Amino acid sequence: MKMFQVTGAAVLNTIERLGRAALFLYEILGNSWTLVRRFYLVIQQVFAVGVFTLPIVLVSGLFVGMVLGLQGYNTLVKFGSAQSLGLLVALSLLRELGPVVTALLFAGRAGSALTAEIGLMKATEQLAGMEMMAVNPVMRVIAPRFLAGVISMPLLAAMFSAIGVLGGNLVGVGLLGVDSGAFWSQMQDGVDFREDVMNGVIKSVVFGVVVTWIAVFEGYDAVPNSEGVSRATNHTVVYSSLAVLGLDFIMTALMLGDV
Amino acid sequence: MTNRKTVEVWVGIFVAAGVFALGVLAFRVGNLTTTDVENGYRVEARFENVGSLKVRSAITLAGVRVGRVAAIRSDPDTYQAVVVLNIDGRYKNLPTDTSASILTSGLLGEQYIELEPGGAEEYLKEGSRIKLTQSAMVLEKLVGRLLTTFIDKPADNGKKK
């Protein structure tokens, strides 16, 4: 009997939490339009969320591209098609690695910081204080952070992919001696703007929404003490990583579906 | 807190770099500059077999790309494949007896349609049909044919050698 009660409580709790998260997203979106007049709030958060994530994204992008160049070359050279290296590097980055790895890094670097910040604001009753002063904390604190995350993600992913291609070019053309012309022409021949570049952008926008949503919700919903904040931060990283990887599979299946 | 101007400058740089990266992906990595067929006109061609030709495959004239395949469908009456070719408006002077053949780039590469102009006085226009076509070479059929010739005439081959 006890076992059933525990399971039931856990399921109900999860559903309730999902419901609260959905209502919270609705509230954020409803409050977003007021930010048009106070756009500086969003800019400030883009600075905190996007600009500070840039170094880690650029460095990882460069190295991921270089590793792709090395690994791809060693496999392709067996089939005598090392010229396709550019295409391989560009497609893997644009379609998968760019959006996904950026989202994972973003969850680790910016998402956890957002959760901790908002959770701490809640624990120190700053959010309650705002409400006392008739300032809507969702509008003043949450919505700018959410919008900043959604704006930053596709930009970061694009930079990741671009510098990754550069890294692949560095290793492939510079170190391994793939012909530079073949590298770029095969890439341009095989990469389609709508099919590959835009689908990657769509993916990264979706990941931006999901990761930032999870981050701000976990912070807002955290148990307001030090242990609760640390657990919320932990949840943000775990849940958003899982959500990104799961959603990536679904979106890839949908995007490749009609080919 | 960092002052307002610094924040704005950095965010400006960040957004500009992001947009620039997207531009690089679109124009340098992707093929946005070459995808569009301008003021194209559509002509039809019928093939016995299109092989692995796809929508958006290239159409070339003397090796230069002049258009893309717009649609491929099957004609239930003749059991043939109907391929709609979207040819760039700049190449309007293709004679009506132009022939279209499906070729493969390289040994295992993609398939494309090569146009060979004939000598007719009139030009192809929107909706006309290319009558001279050559189907795709299907490797299995080719190998099969080769094997049957060997099996049929083993003696002949021996004599020639």
pLDDT by residue for chain A (259 residues), tens only, comes to 888 889 999 999 889 999 999 999 998 888 888 888 888 888 888 988 888 899 999 999 999 999 999 999 999 888 878 888 888 999 999 999 999 999 999 999 999 999 999 999 999 989 889 989 988 888 888 999 999 999 999 999 999 999 999 999 999 888 888 888 778 878 887 888 878 888 999 999 999 999 999 999 999 988 888 899 999 999 999 999 999 999 999 999 888 876 4
> Is A102 a member of any domain?
yes
Question: If you average pLDDT over residues B118-123, what whole number do you get?
Answer: 86
| pTM recorded for the entire structure | 0.75
> Is A47 a member of any domain?
yes
- Domain range annotation of chain B: 1-35, 37-138
Q: How far is CA A100 from the centre of its chain?
A: 7
| pLDDT at residue A205, rounded to an integer | 94
Contact predicate A76/A180, CB 8 Å: no
**Cβ contact A155–B25 (<8 Å):** no
| pLDDT at residue B161, rounded to an integer | 46
Residue for token digits 């579906």?
Answer: A257
> Is A120 a member of any domain?
yes
**In this complex, which of B25, B34, B56 lies closest to A197 when CB atoms are compared?**
B25
| pLDDT at residue B6, rounded to an integer | 85
> Is A259 a member of any domain?
no
3-state secondary structure of A234: helix
> Is A14 a member of any domain?
no
d(CA A216, CA A221) in angstroms, rounded, equals: 8
> Is A90 a member of any domain?
yes
- Where residue B92 falls among pLDDT bands split at 50, 70, 90? confident
A129-A132-A136 Cα angle (round to 5):
85
Residues of chain B that touch chain A, judged by Cβ-Cβ distance less than 8 Å: 2, 4, 7-8, 10-11, 13-15, 17-19, 21-22, 24-26, 28-32, 34-35, 56
> Is A184 a member of any domain?
yes
Q: b/e per residue, A228-250, with b = 16+ CB within 10 A?
A: ebebbbebbbebbbebbeebbee
Please state the domain count of chain A: 1
Residue B159 pLDDT more than 70?
no
d(CA B48, CA B137) in angstroms, rounded, equals: 11
Identify the residue with better confidence: B58 or A158.
A158
ipTM: 0.75
**Cβ contact B28–A159 (<8 Å):** no
Q: Which domain holds residue A200?
A: 21-251
Nearest chain B Cα distance for residue A3, angstroms: 51
3-state secondary structure of B104: strand
**Cβ contact A161–B25 (<8 Å):** yes
Residue for token digits 């924040």?
Answer: B7
Question: If you average pLDDT over residues B86-115, what whole number do you get?
Answer: 83
- Chain A residues whose CB is inside 8 A of the B109 CB are none
Residue B71 pLDDT more than 90?
no
